[in-house]
């Protein structure tokens, strides 16, 4: 996502909102999402991306 280049905080907020939407969708379908896995997929890599 080139529009977030240099704006890691904005990207984190966007991804967190996307994760919440995915969780809501899963519950809406009667599923029980694996929350730790979803966190890893959506947000877990952010701290690694900020390291040099």
**Each residue of 15-42: pLDDT tens digit?**
999 999 999 999 999 999 999 999 999 9
Q: Is the pLDDT of residue 8 over 70?
A: yes
Distance CA 46, CA 36 (A): 15
Q: Is the pLDDT of residue 13 over 70?
A: yes
pTM of the complete model: 0.79
DSSP string, the chain: -GGGTT-HHHHHHHHHHHHHHHHHHHHHTT----HHHHHIIIIITHHHHH--
Q: Name which residue leads in pLDDT, 30 or 12.
A: 30
């Amino acid at each position: 996502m080139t529009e977030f280049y240099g704006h890691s905080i904005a990207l984190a907020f966007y991804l967190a909102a996307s994760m919440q939407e995915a969780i809501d969708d899963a519950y809406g379908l009667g599923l029980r999402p694996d929350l730790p896995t979803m966190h890893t997929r959506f947000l877990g890599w952010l701290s690694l991306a900020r390291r040099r």
